[in-house]
Each structure stands twice: as C-alpha cells, then as structure tokens.
Amino acid sequence: MARKIRILFVTHLFYPAIGGVELHIKHLSEELIKREYEVKVLTSNAYSTEAFFLEDKRRIEKAQETINGIQVVRLTFRTFGRGILNKLRSIACRVKFPFSDWLRLISFGPRNRRFIDKIMVYNPDVIYAAPLPTLNAYYAYKAAKRMKKPLIIIPSYHIFDPCSFYNKIFFKMMREADIVMAQSPMEKEYLAKEGAIDPENIIILPPLPLKEHQLESGRKNKIQIRKRYGIKESFIVLYLGQHGVHKKVNVVLEAMRYVWQHMDMQDVALVIAGGTTDNTDLLKKQASILEQTCNGKVYFIDNFPAEEKEDIFQMSDIFICLSEMESFGIVFVEALNCGVPVIASKNSVARYIVEESETGILVEPGTITEVAGAIIELLADEEMRKRFSKNARRKAAENYHPQRILDKWEDVIANVTTN
C-alpha cells in the first residue's frame, strides 16, 4: 500500500482562532484527509494576530491535539521588545533604510525559530505557508530551502495595505516558491506586476468557503431565529466578521444614521456579529450614541459559536462588509449561499464575487451617503431582494462548489510532488 502524501500547513493561527485563513485551512485540511492525505498544521498558540504585536494576552492551552483528523501542533512565541519593533515598523513604513524590510517582517511575528526545527523533523512532502506578512511563512520558506521540499505560498495579500505587504523579502520568497496560490485575478495581477513573479507560477484558486452540506441547506424561519436573539425589528442589516478597524464597521454605523433618519426606515436593526478586538468598545460606544440620537437599534452578537453562523446569515435581509483588506472574503460567499444580498466595496476583491445588480450592490465606502443609499434601495425594494437572493444561491453553487475546488487543489499537489 502506497504511503500517504504528507502535507504540512504552516500558519499563523488555527482553530479555535477564527478568521478567513484559519477557516480555509481547517476546511481544506478536513477535506484532504477524506481524500487519504496525511495533514498536519504547525501554528502558534494565539487567538489573534494582535497577540503578536499588540496586547491580546489570550492563549490556546493545548500544545498538541487532533481536530477532525488534523494533527495540530502549537508553538509559543516571543513578545519581548514588541513595543520598540512596532515603533520601528511605523518608521520603516514611511522611510526606507537598510534592513527596513527585515524590521517589518520580524515585527509582525510570531517570533519563534523552532518553527523551522519542527518542519524539518516532520519532513513533509509538501509545505504550505500561509499567510503573509506573518513570520511563520518566512520560517516555512527557510525550512523548504534547506530540505529541498516543494513550497506553496498562500499570500492572502491585502493590496491596500502596502506597509504590511509591499516587502521585497516576500516577493523574493514567492519568486522562489514552487507555486503561489492567488485567490483572485486582482491578487495575481498585483503580484506579477509589483513582485516580478512569473505569472505561470501564480495559480488563481479560491479558498474553500463552503462545505457540501452548506450548499444543500434550505431556507430557515427568520422570525424564529430572530426571537432567539431578541430581535424584534422587521428588517436586519448584518455585518459579520471581526471588529478590527480595517473592517470599516464604523462606516457602516455612520451610514445607518442616514438610514434611520429616513422616515420609512425606522423598523430596521443593524446586527454586528463576530470576533471582538481592541476596537470593539469604540464600536459599541458609537452604536450607543446612534441609538440615543437616531432611535436606531444595534445588536452585537460577540464571539458566537461557528454553528450559529448560518442562522445569523439566514435571519438577515442584507449583508454589508466594506473592508478592502481581504485577499478573498469568504463571508461574501457564505452570504450568497444563504441567499442574502450583499453590499460591498467596489475597490475590493468583492467585485470578483458579488455581481453588480445581480447578487448585490458595490459602493464607494468613502461616500457615506452612497453606502446609505444602497441600504435604503435594497430595503425598499422587496422584488430586488428576492431576485438578488435567488441569483446569489445559484452563483454560490456554480462558482464555489467544494468538490470542484478540491479537485484543483489535488492537481496542484500532484504537480509539485511528481516534479
């Protein structure tokens, strides 16, 4: 019997940490195991990237465990000197000087060179490194070079954050990798142009946003779900995701001010669901002021269990996410799959997922009135919402069926292991 191909994902965070990359790696690992691969994840013991360079002190206790067949090893990391590194990174973003690229790389963490030792001990057949700009990807690159093992980098680039991502070291890593896995045409075009990476080595392959059972799930009773969360309003505008500043939830809140001031939009609630961050308290203060001054209603569903996500989508009438920092945006596909019309930034990767006037509306986040206008337009037009909803479910099934995506992943694995 042939030995199973050993795949190692070297990632910054992993479940129970929640985020787009974390969800993608978990889903992909589970499905590859079903296809008879041996999968291991080497990661940090942090719950968020804020633990690497800010003040998040939460840590995952288990250093080793098996999750749905995935062997998970978590390493600690150093935080000593992060205050100085943060200041130096801030300077390096504005002024280029010798070693500025190195400073920016090191400052993001997780800092622990034992990543390299662990990779070499495991001796995988294929190494996946995800994402940039975190330091674990560099450790994976160094180990792959020493071992002469195939390296696939999933950069998950945030194109509109040059301080973090425009780094000559990252471009060198990707030029020397066997495959660079871009998640959108926009990301591929950027990497080829700015990083001088051979376009032939850049494969566009979306993450695994859905599982097969999610495609088969039917519509649920909105009223019953809303009762469970204590929501009485007739319409729900949903933001679902982490509360980080880059997500622009504050812009959504400000747009809702205009919505609630509209005479026909008093029976609308904004639901903000997702992982808390250092920015959460500011968002809750902003929401409280709006509730007092505009008679609006904002519900926060913080750190909800993963199994509640589909219900939260299905109870909503509109999903809105204005972030421009995503390399893909799994939440957009999840919303479409639940039949929820989407409002997103026309400048982001969402434009490759959300079809204008077919499954949602693309807006300029810098223009609050445009954002508010899109919300009002969708809420006021039931026929439009129904049409978008029907199209959304169909597009999710057509474009993001997990088995088709997995077949392409297997082709990539076969290519790098045979060559």
The domains of the chain are located at: 6-208+401-418, 212-399
Show the 3-state SS of 109-147.
CCECCHHHHHHHHHCCCEEEEECCCCHHHHHHHHHHHHH
Q: Check: CB of residue 256 under 8 Å from CB of residue 27.
A: no
Q: How many residues does the chain have?
A: 419
Q: pLDDT digit string (tens) for 307-322?
A: 999 999 999 999 999 9
- Contacts of residue 180, defined as CB under 8 A and 6 or more positions apart, other chains included, come to 152, 153, 155, 174, 191, 197, 201, 202, 203
Q: CATH number of 212-399: 3.40.50.20, 3.40.50.2000, 3.40.605.10, 3.40.50.10300?
A: 3.40.50.2000
CA separation, residue 15 to residues 36, 42, 50 (Å)? 21, 12, 16
Q: What is the DSSP letter of 55?
A: S
Half-sphere exposure (Cβ direction) of 40: Cα atoms closer than 13 Å: 19
Sign of CA dihedral 248, 250, 256, 258: negative
Q: What is the DSSP letter of 63?
A: S
Predicted local confidence at residue 1, as pLDDT: 55
For the chain, list residues with pLDDT below 70: 1, 216-217, 263
* 331: helix, strand or coil: helix
Domains 6-208+401-418 and 212-399 fall in the same CATH topology? yes
Q: Check: CB of residue 53 under 8 Å from CB of residue 87.
A: no
Q: pLDDT digit string (tens) for 31-57?
A: 999 999 999 999 999 999 989 998 889
Sign of CA dihedral 256, 257, 263, 267: positive
Q: What is the rounded CA–CA span in Å between residue 220 and residue 205? A: 31
Is the full-model pTM beyond 0.85? no
From the list 173, 174, 177, the residue with the least C-alpha distance to 150 is 177
User: Where are the extended beta strands (E) located within 32-69?
Assistant: 38-44, 64-67
Which phi-psi region, left, alpha or beta, contains residue 158 (left: φ > 0; alpha: ψ -120 to 50)? beta
Contacts 24+ apart (CB under 8 A), 281-289: 282/250, 283/243, 283/249, 283/250, 283/253, 286/250, 286/253, 286/254, 287/253
Q: Which two tokens stand for residue 298?
A: 């904002």
Burial class (CB in 10 A: 0-12, 13-18, 19+), 369: exposed
Q: Check: CB of residue 120 under 8 Å from CB of residue 128.
A: no
Q: Check: CB of residue 48 under 8 Å from CB of residue 17.
A: yes
Amino acid at site 167: N
Q: What is the rounded CA–CA span in Å between residue 29 and residue 338? A: 24
Q: Which fold has domain 6-208+401-418?
A: Rossmann fold (3.40.50)
If one counts every other C-beta atom within 10 angstroms of the C-beta of residue 413, the result is: 21
